[in-house]
């Protein structure tokens, strides 16, 4: 029999705590070992109970979920699943700050405490808890980046090659890493950057705003027919697949999920392989499943430069692992080395 997953629930609403507890404990593999009403209680319970997973509310009295996450990740690192209402703009923004502080993933919490509403997301909640219970709690690199760049730079490809576009695919654990990449990209980067980040519906717009407020490069959601401008960052919207077309424009296409997700990294990467070919740099980051691996191989086969995130730096070594095993990656790199590589190759553009 597999080990029981011990969960600490943190929420200021007694009714919400009870609903979450009932949902989780219907699964025999999960046991709720503690309840906390605010961030201070959460820190104490995390240290005392040592849960495998914490579900974390954001807006709470005494101490909010962001501050609690920061303290827990500093003193007793634990996989944290943030539960936040996307209808509350401030709460959604704070959610991404919590992800940057070390929380593993986030999902929407129904704004109305109704059993029918919660029933619709019960299976997702259970799956998320099981997934992040296996996630590695990694050291975040925010404070180390400048020192790393002063002492480390790698020339990883032909200095004369002209790269037009950088594509990034990510899932669980991706938002904070994407922010670090964009914050530390060379100021003179002329390549276009396009990102697919698997994310719960409703969070993508806040993700773009959060990135824009923390990074100096212009960032926006990709739109149908939009010209792909140099030096700009585009994020694939939720609910459709993003592709690039022959005239260097974006297309937003409907259709079934691919690899269980929409937007799919594979769909974007495959279109980039055909349109941009060897002028593409593609990066596949942390995440569960296999989305992006085949597309990364397609780009490599077309002469583009491909990078997979290293196992030791991944929160979930799923997507990069599949890509590495199928020979899709030119290089397997840590986050620090990915940033150095992108800056080196961008600097060497002709």
Residues in the chain: 350
Pairing mode, strands 53-57 and 80-84: parallel
In sequence order, the β-bridge partners of residue 35 are: 9
Please say whether the dihedral angle defined by the alpha carbons of residues 60, 64, 66 and 72, taken in this order, is positive or negative. Answer: negative
Active site residues: 171, 198, 291
* Sole residue written with tokens 């009932």: 22
Cα dihedral sign for 142, 45, 172, 83? negative
Alpha helices in the chain (DSSP H): 14-25, 39-49, 65-75, 89-101, 115-132, 145-151, 174-183, 204-214, 265-275, 293-301, 319-325, 335-347
Q: Give the orientation angle of helix 174-183 with respect to helix 335-347, to 10 degrees.
A: 40
Strand partners, 333: 309
State the residue for tokens 């002492």: 151
Q: Residue 178 phi/psi, 5° resolution?
A: -60, -40
Cβ neighbours of residue 279 closer than 8 Å, sequence gap 6 or more = 161, 162, 163, 164, 165, 304
Q: What DSSP assignment string belongs to 262-328?
A: SS-HHHHHHHHHHHTGGGEEEEE-SBSS-TTHHHHHHHHHTT-EEEEE-GGG-SSBSHHHHHHHTT-
| Distance in angstroms (rounded) separating the CA atoms of residues 18 and 118 | 12
């Amino acid at each position: 029999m597999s080990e029981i997953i011990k969960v600490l629930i943190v929420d200021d609403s007694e009714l919400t705590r009870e609903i979450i507890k009932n949902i989780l404990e219907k699964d025999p593999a999960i046991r709720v070992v503690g309840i906390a009403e605010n961030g201070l209680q959460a820190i104490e319970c995390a240290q005392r109970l040592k849960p495998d997973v914490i579900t974390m509310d954001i807006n709470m009295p005494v101490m909010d979920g962001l501050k609690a996450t920061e303290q827990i990740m500093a003193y007793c690192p634990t996989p944290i699943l943030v539960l936040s209402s996307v209808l509350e703009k401030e709460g959604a923004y704070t959610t991404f700050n919590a992800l940057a502080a070390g929380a593993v993933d986030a999902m929407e919490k129904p704004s109305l405490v109704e059993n029918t509403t919660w029933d619709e997301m019960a299976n997702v909640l259970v799956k998320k808890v099981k997934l992040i219970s296996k996630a590695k709690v990694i050291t975040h690199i925010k404070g180390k980046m400048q020192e790393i760049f002063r002492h480390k730079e790698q020339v990883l490809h032909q200095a004369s090659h002209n790269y037009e576009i950088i594509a990034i695919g990510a899932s669980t654990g991706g938002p904070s890493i994407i922010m670090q990449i964009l914050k530390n990209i060379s100021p003179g980067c002329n390549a276009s950057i396009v990102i697919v980040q698997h994310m719960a519906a409703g969070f993508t717009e806040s993700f773009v705003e959060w990135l824009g407020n923390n990074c100096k490069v212009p960032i926006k959601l990709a739109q149908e027919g939009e010209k792909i401008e140099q030096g700009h960052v585009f994020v694939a919207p939720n609910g459709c697949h993003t592709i690039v077309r022959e005239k260097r424009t974006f297309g937003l296409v409907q259709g079934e999920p691919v690899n269980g997700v929409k937007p799919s990294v594979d769909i974007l990467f495959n279109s980039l392989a055909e349109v941009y070919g060897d002028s593409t740099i593609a990066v596949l980051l942390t995440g569960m499943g296999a989305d992006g691996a085949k597309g990364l191989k397609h780009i490599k086969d077309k002469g583009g430069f491909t990078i997979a995130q290293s196992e030791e730096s991944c929160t979930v070594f799923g997507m990069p692992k599949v890509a590495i095993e199928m020979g899709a990656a030119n290089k397997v790199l840590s986050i620090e080395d990915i940033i150095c590589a992108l800056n080196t190759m961008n600097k060497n553009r002709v």
